[in-house]
Amino acid sequence: MAGPATTDLTATIGRVNYELYMSAALAEAREAVRNGEALDGAVAVLDEALVARAHPQVATTGDPTAHAVMVVVREAARRLGRADLSGLVVFAAVEPCAMCVGALIEADVDGLVYATPDTKAGAAGSVAPGRLSVVSGIMEREAAELRLEAARRR
């Protein structure tokens, strides 16, 4: 399990507006709940530009790998026309699972920022240092409120 703000990303991604991009990820998470998906959302940022945004599509497509981070990595690669996503930072509402963290590493994504830890499936705390910079706890309270809201809907 990752603690808060485990790595300083400023050297890697410059003066990124964490809350601006996390707000976009949380908006995707709200959309996911509306669609009957698990609560999560992700956006991919390159040079302070939002290149892709996604929410989980597991229930709607029947693809068990269509987590928010997987979908946003695929979409960013498609839009940029390259499999190497170095320079990108992915913002996620919830700490990604082992599969998603693996995808971020395989794609050479520079950084991961997430709002709230996933104590059951979260795998960002086990990332080998240097391969992926991780920052957690950005807008954590908003994400927690969203979780409560989603739990009440079920």
In the complex, the smallest distance separating the C-beta of residue 70 from Zn ion, rounded to whole angstroms, is 6
Residue 13 to residue 105: CA distance in whole angstroms: 16
User: Residue 22 class from Cβ within 10 Å (0-12 exposed, 13-18 middle, 19+ buried)?
Assistant: buried
Whats the size of the chain, residue-wise? 154
| Residue 97 interacting with Zn ion (CB under 5 A) | yes
Residue closer to Zn ion (CB basis): 16 or 93: 93
Residue closer to Zn ion (CB basis): 48 or 131: 131
Residue closer to Zn ion (CB basis): 58 or 146: 58
Residue closer to Zn ion (CB basis): 71 or 138: 71
In the complex, the smallest distance separating the C-beta of residue 10 from Zn ion, rounded to whole angstroms, is 26
Ramachandran area for residue 45 (φ above 0: left; ψ -120 to 50: alpha; else beta): beta
In the complex, the smallest distance separating the C-beta of residue 41 from Zn ion, rounded to whole angstroms, is 12
Residue closer to Zn ion (CB basis): 17 or 61: 61
Binding range to Zn ion, per CB under 5 A, among 27-35, 49-57, 59-67, 136-144: 59-67
> What residue type is assigned to position 133 of the chain?
S
Contact 56, 31 (CB under 8 A): no
- In the numeric block, the tokens 């009957």 are attached to 36
In the complex, the smallest distance separating the C-beta of residue 150 from Zn ion, rounded to whole angstroms, is 17
| Residue 100 interacting with Zn ion (CB under 5 A) | yes
Residue 102 to residue 121: CA distance in whole angstroms: 13
| Residue 53 interacting with Zn ion (CB under 5 A) | no
Backbone φ and ψ for 128, nearest 5 degrees, come out as -65, 130
Chain contacts with Zn ion (rule: CB under 5 A):
67, 97, 99-100
